[in-house]
Structure 1
Amino acid sequence: MPESASHRLPRGRHALPREEVQRIQRSRLCAAMAEVMTEKGYVATSVGDVLKRAGVSRQSFYEIFASKLDCFNAAFECAGELLLARVSGTIAEGAGAEPAGDPRRAADARLERCERAITAYLEALAGELPYARLFLVEVYAAGPEAIRRRGRLQEVISDALAELMGLGEEADRFACRMLVAATSAMVTPPVAAGDPDALRALGPPLIDHVRVLWNAGIFDRPAASASAAEPSAGRDRS
């Protein structure tokens, strides 16, 4: 997990290996990049601003990063790893074996995991607003490569959601990409405004709408489709 930019290495000589010092400095610089951009935006943020916030020398900065954009890209990777770790951890805590021999209960269990993932995602954004802003807002000011990284990470999140919901068909994965894209669009304004309460307030309506889509069969669930088909089959035989 990225360390706070305010954390300082002890002054004077210390016993940490050079690689560990650079790891700590890299983490602090990434956190500082996210924090300063929250206040000034990517364009107005300078390397000097990041150095001042992180308490790292210019020489040390350029031993780790080639440029401000290089530091931004590293901070973006930190943001993505943090969000995915928070969501995965929450899901793992509540994970259990799916009910055997009961397709409907198994489907409900997958839906519940999806709902936990949505809640965990919103909590992660609310708890890490500087990284959330970097991930959702400032990335578009950092240029084409940063935007491509954003797109690739969104695909990773979409695929993870599809796995949670037990979906493998391409049409279902496309529905997950639509859901993730819509959620991203909805959380961006409160992230930009720095409003964690508004982020958390999105949880219940998002979850309600996912349930509506699930129950309407937008996601193809063979077990649900089969059970839904049985009454009509019986009527045809009568």
Structure 2
Amino acid sequence: MPESPRKKRQREPHQLPAGRHGLPRSFVVENQRQRILAAVADVCSSAGYVAMSVEDIVVTSGVSRRTFYDNFRGKEDVYLAAYDEVTKQLLTRVYASYEAADGLVARVRDSLNAFLTFVAEEPAFADMCIVEVMAAGPIAIERRNRTMEAFSQMIEKAAAEELPKAKLPPALTAETLVGGIYEVVYSRVLQGRGAELPDLLPDLLFSVVLPYVGQETATSLLKNERRRSKPKAGKQAEG
């Protein structure tokens, strides 16, 4: 019988070998789940949420359709699970930077830098969670809103701990600032320019702290941050 012209799919490094391998069932199940979630980010980034299918995810992850449906109900369910997994990683990194810093300006700077760096280093995750979330339906958008609310609360907490109540701007300020940052990040990621985001730290930091510390302090901070970023650019040019 002639060999099928269909090319055999080779096992990827992250995939387990077929057949008996002596690995605990719990390890195998978790490995399969993580492969599926990683595949969602890859497929969503390359094809977009609307065009993404369960078949695309199955092929990319290297699991069977049965394994997929043992873990997830369908396309929306697996997208939401992948979104939750990525935002958990992101918020863990941002919270760690926030808690390690001292004072409003340092906390905003370090947590914002952690966010921008994560997005720049994980383009598939960025596409999935920042751009394609808008096409993934109302539940996904509500989860995006909750993530943005977490960032707003960090700013509000840092400000409340440092500034007298009388000097705090209106309660809507932090939410407005986070919404503006989202639009800046969204436009860069959509254009495939996510790697540029860490370079925007000085300007974004200025925008966030301005309502809390005033024009003079924010302008001085902007100049200092731009000076700090210049040596990095110089070293890259020399390399």
Bigger shift: residues 205-214 or 168-177: 168-177
**Gaps spanning 5+ residues in structure 2: where?**
1-11, 216-239
Backbone CA RMSD of aligned residues:
2.3
**Gaps spanning 5+ residues in structure 1: where?**
97-108, 218-238
Structure 1 residues 13 and 121, CA gap change in structure 2 (3 angstroms): same
- What does 1:154-169 correspond to in 2, within 5 Å? 154-166=148-160
1:33 aligned partner, one-letter code: V
- How much identity, in percent, do the aligned residues show? 35
2:196 aligned partner, one-letter code: A
Deviation, 1:133, is: 1.4
Bigger shift: residues 181-190 or 151-160: 151-160
User: Contact 1:113–1:165 (CA<8 Å) still a contact in 2?
Assistant: no
User: Contact 2:121–2:195 (CA<8 Å) still a contact in 1?
Assistant: no
- Inter-partner Cα distance in structure 2 for 1:80 and 1:69: 16
**2:234 matched residue in structure 1:** none
Deviation, 1:214, is: 2.4
Structure 1 residues 64 and 124, CA gap change in structure 2 (3 angstroms): same
Q: 1:200 and 2:172 equivalent?
A: no
**2:186 matched residue in structure 1:** 188
Structure 1 residues 7 and 166, CA gap change in structure 2 (3 angstroms): farther
Deviation, 1:39, is: 0.8
Name the TM-score, length of structure 2 as normaliser.
0.75
User: Contact 2:97–2:107 (CA<8 Å) still a contact in 1?
Assistant: no
Alignment length, in residue pairs?
200
- What does 1:19-38 correspond to in 2, within 5 Å? 19-38=26-45
Aligned counterpart for 1:95 among listed residues 84, 93, 101: 101
- Inter-partner Cα distance in structure 2 for 1:142 and 1:91: 30
Q: 1:8 and 2:15 equivalent?
A: yes
Q: 1:128 and 2:122 equivalent?
A: yes
CA deviations over 1:147-183 (Å, ceiling 9, x no partner): 1111122212221332233459796542111111110
Aligned counterpart for 1:57 among listed residues 64, 69, 82: 64
Deviation, 1:143, is: 1.1
CA deviations over 1:27-69 (Å, ceiling 9, x no partner): 2111111111111100111111111111111110000000011
